[in-house]
């Protein structure tokens, strides 16, 4: 049962928490929009599709936004406690700092558990939707594929056939047949043209087709009886140029939602990633074995060839120098040996690139899996750091606490990126790379908590001046008792 003090502490924490989370979420979304802007601009997307894409992308950044929010909110809330002398009042009443931190530590633990399940079960699905949507948007009219000589019914309400399709982007066509699908209550219409061309339409939801030298065959007995239909002949209209617009918004929307990419490791849960890691590890071991055998065989081939050229026919057990071989034979041996060594060097370079690619992919999978757990632990570490710093600096609001939190987060982010790049290049174990930022910040968080519990004046400038004063004296001459002429 929560006491009045616990409810007050939690209420004070969640005030800045929701505000900071909203601001940071908006900032990360704006960054995503800026990066991805070129992929969905000018594609004729509706507002609903853009909002849906931003929602998919926004869900994926929560794993980074939540720890930073906890850090900022804890610094601000405990800073306000100190600034309003509430911490001093609690300590005077015999309430230790650990008792004040306990309810929020429980809240941070609950948020960490929620982040784990969110990252494990929800984010992979949204990663899949976002990546597929971006992939489909990046393509122009991804669902329309015309095949020469075949009837295509992908355009809603029409059946089309082109005898020939050519041009750099397949924009020129010949032997055009376009039939409009109609019910018994609509006029039937067919268009036949000698040639045509696809032209970019002002509205991306429409397909613009310009036809040349053709006929429009149309009847005009929609809704009339069968007797009238039998008596009235078809009408034919000859044209030199005909411009037609086809509404393809339906198939574009369907194509944007279509999931063509299904095998990305970011679409998997923690347990599914275990199987992916095991499979990738086996494939790498097999690759390394094959590479070693190939290089060894080529090396032995070069050595055997050079030894064969150096062995005399009369005394096979003894060896002679290359200088004793006749000129033409020696040049032939040197030339062939050089070619084989050059081929071996080329093989080694190509295998090295493949090796680097496999190591990088394996490291990405491992780091992604481990961060599902490590980012949840980061929430706890950031709370310890934030609560301790807030109780020490005793400043609330958006000033100094925000600056300190940003500095800590930048350090955390730089560590993440640095160890990630080292792991990708094979210089660090990926499991260690995923946990190293937490392992570095955890002792700092414990130390900060200890300083807060002992009422340390961590930001007292006079204390540091006293500490460095003996060192300063070594470089600054004393002016005391100096005689003036």
Tokens 């065989």 sit at which residue?
Answer: 297
pLDDT tens digit at each of 485 positions of the chain: 468 888 888 888 888 899 889 888 888 887 777 766 655 655 556 677 778 877 887 788 888 899 989 998 988 888 888 888 888 888 888 888 888 888 889 999 999 999 999 999 888 888 888 777 777 665 555 445 677 888 877 677 788 888 888 887 677 888 998 888 776 667 778 899 999 988 877 776 778 889 999 988 877 666 565 666 566 666 788 888 888 888 777 666 666 666 666 677 778 888 888 888 888 888 877 777 776 666 666 565 555 555 554 444 444 444 445 555 556 666 666 667 677 677 777 767 766 777 777 788 888 889 989 999 999 999 999 999 988 888 887 776 666 777 888 888 888 889 988 998 888 888 888 899 999 999 999 998 888 888 888 776 665 556 656 666 777 767 665 555 555 44
355 within some domain: yes
Would you state the pLDDT for residue 234?
63
Tokens 């015309």 sit at which residue?
Answer: 146
Residues 10 and 134 in one domain: yes
Residues 362 and 402 in one domain: no
Domain boundary among 334, 367, 400: 367
Indicate the number of domains in the chain.
3
Residues 329 and 378 in one domain: no
Residues 240 and 133 in one domain: no
Would you state the pLDDT for residue 460?
55
Check if the beta carbon of residue 74 is closer than 8 Å to that of residue 390: yes
Radius of gyration of the chain from its Cα atoms, rounded to whole angstroms: 37
Would you state the pLDDT for residue 309?
47
Residues 205 and 184 in one domain: yes
411 within some domain: yes
Would you state the pLDDT for residue 283?
80
45 within some domain: yes
Quote the CA–CA distance of 111 and 381 in Å, as a whole number.
12
Quick one: how far is CA 145 from the chain centroid? Answer: 29
Question: In three state form, how does the secondary structure of 220-262 look?
Answer: CCCCCCHHHHHHCCCEEEEEEEEEEEEECHHHHHHHHHCCCCC
Quote the CA–CA distance of 49 and 328 in Å, as a whole number.
74
- Helices 47-60 and 123-137 sit at what angle, rounded to 10 degrees? 140
pTM above threshold 0.75: no
Domain boundary among 297, 332, 367: 367
Domain boundary among 367, 382, 408: 367
Residues 186 and 228 in one domain: yes
Residues 109 and 13 in one domain: yes
Residues 363 and 382 in one domain: no
Q: Which of 280, 175, 190 is nearest to 234 (CA)?
A: 190
Sheet strands (E) in 249-305:
none
Residues 9 and 101 in one domain: yes
131 within some domain: yes
Would you state the pLDDT for residue 329?
67
Strand-pairing partners, residue 208, are 199, 245
Residues 16 and 60 in one domain: yes
Would you state the pLDDT for residue 15?
85
Instruction: Please list the alpha-helical segments (H only) found in 138-248.
Output: 226-231
Q: β-pairing, 172-180 with 235-247?
A: unpaired
Residues 6+ apart with CB under 8 A from 109: 380
Residues 350 and 383 in one domain: no
254 within some domain: no
Contacts 24+ apart (CB under 8 A), 47-55: 49/253, 49/256, 52/133, 53/130, 53/133, 53/134, 53/137, 54/29
Would you state the pLDDT for residue 380?
93
257 within some domain: no
60 within some domain: yes
Its domain, for residue 310, covers: 266-367
Quick one: how far is CA 315 from the chain centroid? Answer: 67
Check if the beta carbon of residue 244 is closer than 8 Å to that of residue 120: no
Quote the CA–CA distance of 330 and 321 in Å, as a whole number.
11
Residues 349 and 391 in one domain: no
455 within some domain: yes
């Amino acid at each position: 049962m929560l006491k009045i003090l616990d409810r007050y502490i939690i209420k004070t924490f969640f005030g800045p928490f929701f505000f900071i989370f909203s601001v940071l979420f908006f900032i990360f979304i704006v960054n995503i929009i800026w990066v991805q802007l070129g992929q969905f601009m000018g594609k004729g997307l509706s507002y609903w599709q853009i909002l849906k894409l931003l929602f998919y992308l926004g869900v994926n950044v929560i794993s980074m936004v939540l720890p930073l929010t906890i850090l900022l909110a804890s610094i601000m809330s405990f800073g306000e406690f100190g600034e309003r002398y509430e911490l001093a009042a609690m300590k005077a009443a015999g309430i230790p700092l650990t008792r004040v931190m306990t309810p929020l530590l429980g809240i941070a633990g609950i948020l960490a558990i929620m982040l784990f399940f969110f990252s494990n079960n929800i984010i992979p699905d949204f990663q899949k939707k976002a990546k597929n949507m971006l992939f489909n948007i990046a393509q122009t009219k991804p669902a329309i594929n015309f095949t020469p000589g075949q009837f295509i019914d992908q355009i809603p309400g029409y059946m089309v056939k082109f005898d020939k399709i050519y041009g750099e982007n397949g924009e020129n066509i010949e032997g055009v047949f376009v039939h409009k699908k109609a019910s018994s209550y609509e006029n039937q219409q067919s268009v036949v043209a000698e040639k045509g061309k696809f032209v970019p339409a002002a509205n991306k939801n429409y397909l613009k087709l310009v036809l040349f030298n053709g006929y429009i065959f149309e009847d005009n007995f929609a809704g009339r009886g069968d007797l009238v239909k039998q008596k009235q002949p078809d009408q034919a209209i000859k044209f030199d140029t005909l411009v037609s617009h086809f509404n393809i918004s339906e198939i574009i929307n369907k194509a944007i939602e279509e999931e063509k990419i299904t095998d990305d490791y970011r679409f998997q849960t923690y347990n599914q990633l275990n199987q992916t890691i095991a499979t990738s590890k086996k494939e790498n071991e097999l690759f390394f074995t094959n590479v070693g055998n190939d290089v060894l065989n080529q090396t032995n081939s070069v050595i055997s060839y050079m030894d064969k050229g150096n062995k005399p026919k009369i005394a096979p057990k003894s060896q002679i120098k290359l200088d004793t071989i006749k000129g033409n034979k020696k040049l032939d041996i040197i030339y062939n040996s050089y070619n084989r060594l050059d081929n071996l060097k080329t093989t080694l370079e190509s295998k090295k690139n493949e090796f680097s690619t496999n190591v990088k992919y394996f490291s990405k999978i491992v780091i992604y899996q481990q961060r599902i757990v490590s980012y949840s632990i980061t929430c706890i570490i950031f709370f310890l750091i934030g609560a301790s710093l807030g109780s020490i600096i005793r400043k609330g609001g958006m000033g100094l606490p925000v600056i300190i939190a940003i500095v800590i987060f930048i350090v955390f982010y730089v560590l993440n990126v640095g160890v990630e790049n080292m792991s990708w290049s094979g210089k660090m174990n990926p499991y260690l790379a995923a946990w190293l930022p937490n392992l570095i910040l955890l002792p700092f968080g414990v130390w900060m908590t200890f300083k807060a519990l002992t009422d340390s004046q961590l930001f007292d400038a006079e204390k540091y001046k006293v500490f460095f004063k003996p060192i300063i004296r070594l470089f600054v001459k004393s002016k005391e008792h100096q005689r003036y002429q």
